[in-house]
Structure 1
Amino acid sequence: MIELQLRAALDQAMQRIEEQTRNHDVLASEVEQMRKLIEDMSRAHQGPPHDP
């Protein structure tokens, strides 16, 4: 009986960990996309390199 309760608790904890891992991966991807966008915007704002 206790073993089944422990197993159920472990399964729930593993599901939460998997969900948090997926959420982390999505957020990391979004941060990377934002970083690239900011980099591109900065590059566009600076314009082409000037040749003296």
Structure 2
Amino acid sequence: MSALYVLILVSLFVALAFLSTFIWSVRKGHFDDDCTPAMRILLDDGITNQNQSKTT
């Protein structure tokens, strides 16, 4: 029975660690802009096309 208490305490500690890490990352702004990185590949910036034409 004492092993069950240890497992419950360890699981609560791990859950609190994950929760605190999540709250820390939200406050630091890691989830502010989640649309731009996914759409960056769809946008043509033109810089790479100009560099490629100069080298040819």
Q: Given the two structures, how large is their TM-score scaled by the length of structure 1?
A: 0.55
CA RMSD in angstroms, aligned pairs only: 1.4
Distance 1:25 1:48 in 2: 32
Q: Which 4+ runs in 1 deviate beyond 3 A?
A: none
Is residue 29 from structure 1 mapped to residue 11 from structure 2 by the alignment?
yes
Q: Which runs of 5+ in 2 are unaligned?
A: 32-56
Q: 2:2 & 2:30 partners in 1: Cα distance?
A: 42
Shift of 1:32: 0.2
Greater share of helix? 1
Aligned to 1:39: 21
Unmatched 5+ residue regions in structure 1? 1-18
TM-score (norm 2): 0.51
Identity of aligned residues (%): 13
TM-superposition CA deviations, 1:5-45 (whole Å, max 9, x none): xxxxxxxxxxxxxx110000011000000000000000000
Count of residue pairs the alignment pairs up? 31
Match of 1:12 in 2: none
